């Protein structure tokens, strides 16, 4: 029989069968609504920032001319509606690089000519892989990582992912031995390694990489003569110390601006998380590699950002006073919501990985497992969806090396909905005999974690007092 569709159309490697996506499908069948469906599933698998959306709406109310595409008394509609160059509006690129520098504490300067605009970070990541790797070549990625990368980086490019296995014993930090082990695994599979792909701040961990980790990574890449891609779409969500260090800042600190490595490091950024605008589909690639930028710009023509979107956002980002206020207020909101989640889970004897960024926590539910297996993790996950009515993402969907961890989002819902979610978890833990027995038999992990937090808090205060600074952001 004549084959009617292409191999791509029939390909099964999209990753849609991941528990991450299945959880979304279950939520969509029975979504929670406080009035229409109060017993429905609460969406805690969506990393969306709605906490400061009121500030954006109030800005739009005060700037009606922008919404109506009017400037200096005249209409901009015709200019915006007609043909656009796929290089993007220069005014938009100018304010974007300024915003990128602002949220990186002006430790790095960005040149708009090195920026490629894309329809979201998904497109940016895929374009980068097309530029860096041939089908069958590999990227090393630290675990756990965002489940969508199995689709974004592999599905159409044909590239392979080799995991860098990281563990909770050091808060899932990257080590030199883990990098070398992943590289050796790739060689055993006869895969050419083209680069290391990181997310910093991390999704799903909600942590920022230390300067030592970045230096280990840079040295490794220089030794192997490979690229580094740093997905930094959560850079604007950092709400607590330690501060975020961009990969570009780490290169500058090592005085590598004139080295070969300067052209082998590439950043992905977005406004989806920092400003909570995923529907506007604004992503970007930044690189000092002129050849890569030229190729990526050509590829971006398959997924452009509309001129109207660029114009509107150029005005919002160009209001420096408003943006500073937004970033400051958003930080406060993220701290508060993160504490609400951690405290609510703590009341049920469940701990979160210590984090300082992101729209989620990586939650330790190992003591709730019937056995230390991924099968037991899946059993617990199904209970959380069907019995508790919460869609959370199991660690195995993020390729976590240890069963029992879950990514739980907190910034896409109201305080009342988050409180209800915590009540549901508490009721579940208190009513499940097997879980209660596990918690009675294994109280040490929570106790150790609490003691560790207290020791870190005391240590932080000692440092602050010794430096003459007793202030705190909390």
Residues annotated as catalytic are 146, 231, 233, 273
274, 53 Cβ separation under 8 angstroms: no
CA distance 431 to 383: 13
Residue matched to tokens 């833990």: 429
**Torsion, Cα of 420, 421, 427, 430 (10° steps):** -140
CA distance 223 to 216: 11
Give which of 259, 202, 258 is closest to 230, Cα–Cα: 202
Provide the token pair at 213. 């980790």
Q: Are strands 227-231 and 265-270 parallel, antiparallel or unpaired?
A: parallel
What are the two backbone dihedrals, phi and then psi, of residue 138, each rounded to the nearest 5 degrees? -125, 150
**Residues in Cβ contact with 472 at an 8 Å cutoff, skipping those fewer than 6 apart:** 464
């Amino acid at each position: 029989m004549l084959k009617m569709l292409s191999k791509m159309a029939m390909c099964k490697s999209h990753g849609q069968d991941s528990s991450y996506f299945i959880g979304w499908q279950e939520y969509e069948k029975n979504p929670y609504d406080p009035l229409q469906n109060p017993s429905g599933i609460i969406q805690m698998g969506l990393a969306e920032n709605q906490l400061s959306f009121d500030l954006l709406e109030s800005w739009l109310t005060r700037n009606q001319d922008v919404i109506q595409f009017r400037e200096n008394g005249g209409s901009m509609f015709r200019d915006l509606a007609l043909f656009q160059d796929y290089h993007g509006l220069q005014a938009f690129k100018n304010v974007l690089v300024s915003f990128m520098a602002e949220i990186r504490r002006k430790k790095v300067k960005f040149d708009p000519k090195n920026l490629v605009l894309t329809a979201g970070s998904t497109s940016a990541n895929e374009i980068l892989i097309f530029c860096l790797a041939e089908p069958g070549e590999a990227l090393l990625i630290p675990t756990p990582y965002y489940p969508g990368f199995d689709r974004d980086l592999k599905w159409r490019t044909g590239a392979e992912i080799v995991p860098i296995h990281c563990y909770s014993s050091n808060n899932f930090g990257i080590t030199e031995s883990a990098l070398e082990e992943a590289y050796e695994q790739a060689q055993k599979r006869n895969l050419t390694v083209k680069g290391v792909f990181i997310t910093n701040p991390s999704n799903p961990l909600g942590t920022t990489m230390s300067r030592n980790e970045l230096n280990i990574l840079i040295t490794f890449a220089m030794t192997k003569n490979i690229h580094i891609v740093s997905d930094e779409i959560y850079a604007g969500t950092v709400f607590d110390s330690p501060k975020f260090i961009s990969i570009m800042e780490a290169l500058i600190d090592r005085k590598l601006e004139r080295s070969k490595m300067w052209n082998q490091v590439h950043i992905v950024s977005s406004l989806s998380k920092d400003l909570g605008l995923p529907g506007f589909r604004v992503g970007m690639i930044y690189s000092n590699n002129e050849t890569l930028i030229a190729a990526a710009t050509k590829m971006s023509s398959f997924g452009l950002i509309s001129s109207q979107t660029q114009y509107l956002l150029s005005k919002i980002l160009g209001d420096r006073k408003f943006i500073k206020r937004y970033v400051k207020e958003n930080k406060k909101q993220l701290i508060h919501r993160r504490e609400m989640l951690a405290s609510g889970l703590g009341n049920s004897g469940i701990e979160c990985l210590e984090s300082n960024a992101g729209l989620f926590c990586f939650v330790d539910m190992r003591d709730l497992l019937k056995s230390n297996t991924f099968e037991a993790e899946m059993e617990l996950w199904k209970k959380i969806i069907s019995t508790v009515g919460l869609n959370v993402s199991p660690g195995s969907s993020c390729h976590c090396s240890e069963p029992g961890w879950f990514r739980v989002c907190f910034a896409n819902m109201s305080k009342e909905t988050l409180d209800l979610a915590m009540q549901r978890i508490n009721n579940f833990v208190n009513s499940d005999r097997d879980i209660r027995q596990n918690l009675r038999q294994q109280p040490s992990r929570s106790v150790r974690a609490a003691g560790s937090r207290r020791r870190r808090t005391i240590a932080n205060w000692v440092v602050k007092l010794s430096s003459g600074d007793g202030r705190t952001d909390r």
